[in-house]
Homo-oligomer: A and B are copies of this chain.
Amino acid sequence: MSEHTFSIEFQPIGIRVIYSEPITVLEAARQAGITLRSDCGGKGSCGKCAVQIVEGSSSPLTRNEIIFRKGGMLQQNERLACETILDENAKIYIPSGSLSAAQVLQTEGILKSVDVHSPIRVEFLSMTPPTLAAPKSDLENILEAKPGLYFENDDQALFTLRKISPQIRKQGWKAYAICSQNRILTVCTEEPARLLGLAVDIGSTKIACYLMDLTSGNTLAAKGVPNPQIAYGEDIIARLSYAMQGAEQEERLHSDLIRAINQAAEELVKTIGAQAEEIADFCMVGNTAMHHFFLHLPTRQLATSPFTPAIKKETLISAETIGVKGLPGSRIVVPGPIAGFVGSDHLAFLLASGFGEDGVVRLGIDIGTNTEIALQKGKRIISCSTASGPAFEGAHIRFGMRASRGAIEHVAIDQNGKARCKVIGDGEATGICGSGILDAISEMKRSGILNQRGRLDAENSNVAKDGEGVRFYRLLSASDGQREITLSQKDIDQILLAKGAIRSGIAILMDTLQVAAQEIEEVLIAGAFGSYLNPYHAIQIGMLPSVDLGKIKAVGNAAGAGARLMLLSEEMRQKASALAQRIEHLELNTYPDFELFFANGIRL
């Protein structure tokens, strides 16, 4: 990859994240799992997200920042995280006052509290040089140096001896065994500088990779890379169809994934001066299709009813078998999918969000191309999956784009029915991202531009018809000297289908467990979109049930946090397995009156 990448290190937390596109400090921190105070929703108006740029250059001071500095609300060495854009290596210091009080490190917090207990450890081996009188074989010598250690099978012993037999002769019969519990992964003659692990959350759109210190439990570096499978289809169904074309296509979807993970891992270890071959343990989560693509399992069966996965239990697969670079003999923990369309990423999300730990009435939603929803009440946890499509990620929306510089991220509509837009980076708008779309729909509904059935009001002065007779609403008008940005009836329909899919899923789970909206104690929203989403508007348009806003919490990449928990702690892996057993999966399509729930879900 010749792609431009740069890393941002956050102090005093000590996490380093790699990016490939210009990004605000606020968003960069979100991706690192750090939630900064942002009472104004990143509009640059509350001044709470102050940070210090310790190293590296950044975008010039904005008007808002100049105002805050003049007013003494921002120190001379501080910037607003939401207004500052980075495009090269930087080190950021976050004053404790800027950390979100309510949501301080939602998932990172869980990571901090986990009892780190990785199965990976190092044993020093002092062997006896063989003599003609006692010509002990190398294998005996290794195993007798530390009784109790063993190779999982003779193939593993063979791989190790091929490498180590010549080396131990040069190194005075001293060596180090890297073990998972008592199982020897490999033997080396130099003491490992550290024990590294890699946690991976394979999303349909993005792959999140975390390089972990297995001893301290610290996240050493993190990186999100695009899922290269996008080239073969935007959503899972398209990729499953592509895989059905033949073995070569299926193989390509597998190998592209592995290559992307290996490249990300290489970049991560580079930031700490290590090698990918030092990574001793892995945990991989993802939806069921990603799980199968990753393991190179047949995927045709995931595309047709009854959508049976080939493997459902947690597996331990040799990294070498899969082609993932790592320590010789290392294994990848691959938690099993819960069902055909509810993957181990959802399990990881639930694990990191405390499902199964208490009896709190808790709703968990992971919004993506497929949205997974879980509801807990007492001892029961029920989950479902719904095809919400990529509209919230800006796909299939005419001016849709990702949340990056130039995207409209917030919209308010004034008394005249005219939109006021907040653009990321404060420059000219080039499109609109998911949170902006949600705001727009909510505001259009409030101001009557959209009726309850989601139709645009033809009478409004900002509504017009395009050449094909499709109505649209002008967010930004060319007549104001700006680039024209619109939302068409088609765009709105896409969004309503997506929100309808999510709402009907939630409603069916609530119906199943007989939970009323006011009973819900906690709503956790995971995923990139969840961090942007304005809970007020989400309730206004009927995407979320009507709960107190304070109960709604964005938890960032909770699946990635769950994967890290499982990597760091055997107890957490056991908890995850137990949780997977407990979760009841519900097939929405087979639910009585499903169509009615869906029709209601679409309404505004």
A587 interface contact, C-beta 8 A = yes
A453 interface contact, C-beta 8 A = no
Give complex CA distance A310, B336 in Å.
Answer: 38
A300 interface contact, C-beta 8 A = yes
A238 interface contact, C-beta 8 A = no
With CB as the reference atom, state the residue of chain B lying closest to A129.
B306
Number of copies of chain A assembled together: 2
| A137 x B169 contact (CB < 8 A) | no
Considering the complex, which residues of chain A in the window 128-148 have a beta carbon less than 8 Å from any beta carbon of chain B? Answer: 130-132, 135-140
| A318 x B155 contact (CB < 8 A) | yes
Q: Mark A578-604, 1 if CB is under 8 A from B, else 0.
A: 000000000100100000000000000
Residues of B within 8 A of A166 (CB): 298, 300-301
Residues of B within 8 A of A321 (CB): 155, 158
Residues of B within 8 A of A131 (CB): 306
Residues of B within 8 A of A336 (CB): 137
CB distance from A543 to the nearest CB of B (A): 27
| B137 x A587 contact (CB < 8 A) | no
| B155 x A312 contact (CB < 8 A) | no
A4 interface contact, C-beta 8 A = no
| A340 x B135 contact (CB < 8 A) | yes
A154 interface contact, C-beta 8 A = yes
Task: Give the total of A residues in contact with B, Cβ under 8 Å.
Answer: 45
- Which residue of the partner chain, among B162, B312, B316, B340, contacts A153 with CB atoms under 8 Å? B316
A152 interface contact, C-beta 8 A = yes
Considering the complex, which residues of chain A in the window 277-295 have a beta carbon less than 8 Å from any beta carbon of chain B? Answer: 295
With CB as the reference atom, state the residue of chain B lying closest to A314.
B154
Give complex CA distance A162, B298 in Å.
Answer: 6
A379 interface contact, C-beta 8 A = no
| B162 x A296 contact (CB < 8 A) | yes
| A158 x B315 contact (CB < 8 A) | yes
Residues of B within 8 A of A587 (CB): 132
Considering the complex, which residues of chain A in the window 295-319 have a beta carbon less than 8 Å from any beta carbon of chain B? Answer: 295-298, 300-301, 305-313, 315-318
- Which residue of the partner chain, among B155, B169, B316, B590, contacts A301 with CB atoms under 8 Å? B169
| A139 x B310 contact (CB < 8 A) | yes
Given contacts A161-B297, A295-B158, A306-B131, A313 and B136 within 8 Å (CB-CB):
no
A to B CB contacts below 8 Å, 19 in the list: A130-B308, A132-B305, A132-B307, A135-B340, A137-B308, A137-B310, A137-B336, A138-B311, A153-B153, A157-B315, A158-B295, A158-B297, A158-B315, A165-B297, A165-B301, A165-B310, A166-B298, A166-B300, A169-B301
Interface residues of A (CB under 8 A from B): 130-132, 135-140, 152-155, 157-158, 161-162, 165-166, 169, 295-298, 300-301, 305-313, 315-318, 321, 336, 339-340, 587, 590
Lowest 9 CB-CB distances: which A-B pairs, in order?
A137-B312, A154-B315, A130-B308, A132-B306, A161-B310, A138-B310, A165-B298, A165-B310, A139-B311
